Homo-oligomer: A and B are copies of this chain.
Amino acid sequence: MTVRTLVKQLAAAADGPVRVSGWVETVRDQKKVQFVILRDETGAVQLVHPRTDVDEPGSDALATQISALSHGSFLTVTGELKHDERVKLGGLEVKIGEIEVTAAALDLPIAEDSSIDKRLDWRFLDLRRPEQNLVFRVQTTFLHALRSWWVENDFIEIHTPKLMASPSESRAELFEVEYFETKAYLAQSPQFFKQMAQPAGFGKVFEVAPAFRADPSFTSRHATEFISVDAEMSWVTSHEDVMRMHEQLLVAGLTAVKEKHGAEIEAAFGTTVTVPELPFPRIPLSEAHSILASRGYTVPRADGDLDPEGERRLSEYVKEQYGHEFVFVTDYTSNIRPFYHMRHEGDPSLTNSYDLIFNGTEISTGAQREHRIDVLVAQAKEKGMEPAELDFYLDFFRYGVPPHGGFGMGLSRVIMLLLHQPSIREVTYLFRGPNRLLP
């Protein structure tokens, strides 16, 4: 028996016997000849069968088998490969010898134009679309480049627990778990535990892992479970050190994506991957407000945080002004930052923090952390936190700790914005929202 050949390997294979495996994308059942488009994880190939039953219908068993093939069925086909420039699809086709149906498909319940909700109901079928497959190959390449950069720069990978005895960010949007005789909570972020690596003397750490928020919103960029890309490092002197690491990391990730998938992304999504220039532009939050105001937009939020429209417009400005898809908005005011962000020396109304905006949407928050226990406790109290409940976290600062900082970044947002997709639902393997737990 011949060995399986991947579709992408056919171009370089010699004419002759081959075996291919994949699923039926289309069947064109013509009078004199039948065509099957078979797709596998690497591409699509045209299979052909010249009917021998034109004069005597039903006398060609193979033709009858091909006519009965349902879309989506998985097959193994042995046949003869022939390179032929006239064939549009890759300049080659396989003349079918024998078909083995591995699993016949029922009628497919979704089509190209099904609604996003219907497509998510049948996500495993939706993922068969070549663009969807590309999304996850892009994500694989992006993450591997990030991890490679971290490993080359001596970061240690950590796996922080997702089961916690108390909330990591706030009492709001918290999932509660029955944990033997007690309750546990799902980690809203790895924040406390990646900081723990600092008094532990790990120096520089990273983690790519799920985080959970009982967020009841239905926007295009929120999910109840999402992949958080996190890094934290010791001995920073301000958030500037974190931004420098962050931007280098993204350059590594986008360089790898452009090299490996740039042409495919262009073809599938009509989007050019741009490797950003270093350094990324940095704009203090207060200046961002002035820029927006001078362009006729007043951010409507009372707390002074940017709203999505403000982010979009600021991004537009940065593209015009600097030709850049990224912008660090820095020095957020303390009122809209968590208690563990370090504040400016001399001006406690501002923090050593930033948000990173990519193509109009926030993808990440970073900061230098407050490592002085007395200041940290005061800030926690000011934010209405209960120090007793935080005691295990505050202990991290009582037995020696270096100054440190880091960021958390939403993976699906990065991929969505990179590929100009309308929602993180399109780039998440299985989306989870307030009313979606299936499949």
- Chain A interface residues (CB < 8 Å from chain B): 4, 21-24, 39-42, 70, 72-74, 76, 102-106, 108-109, 122-125, 127-128, 133, 136-137, 139-141, 143-144, 147-148, 151, 154-165, 175-180, 182, 184, 186, 193, 196-197, 199-204, 209-210, 212, 214, 216, 224-225, 227, 234-235, 371-373, 392-393, 395-403, 411, 428-430, 432, 434-435, 437-439
Contact call B180/A434, Cβ cutoff below 8 A: yes
CB pairs A–B below 8 angstroms (14 shown)? A21-B234, A41-B202, A70-B400, A102-B402, A103-B400, A124-B197, A124-B199, A124-B399, A136-B158, A160-B430, A161-B210, A180-B214, A180-B434, A392-B439
Residue of chain B at shortest CB distance from A187 = B210
For A428, the chain B residues whose CB sits under 8 A away are 159
For A136, the chain B residues whose CB sits under 8 A away are 156-158, 202
A381 to B151, CA, bound (A): 47
A73 to B257, CA, bound (A): 43
- Which of A70, A124, A203, A234 has most B Cβ within 10 Å? A124
Contact call B193/A186, Cβ cutoff below 8 A: no
A392 to B120, CA, bound (A): 12
Residue of chain B at shortest CB distance from A392 = B439
A403 to B72, CA, bound (A): 14
Set B105, B176, B402: member contacting A399, Cβ < 8 A: B105
Contact call A22/B105, Cβ cutoff below 8 A: no
Contact call A106/B398, Cβ cutoff below 8 A: yes
For A396, the chain B residues whose CB sits under 8 A away are 124, 439
- Which of A41, A180, A224 has most B Cβ within 10 Å? A41
Contact call B73/A400, Cβ cutoff below 8 A: yes
For A74, the chain B residues whose CB sits under 8 A away are 199, 400-402
Contact call B73/A203, Cβ cutoff below 8 A: no
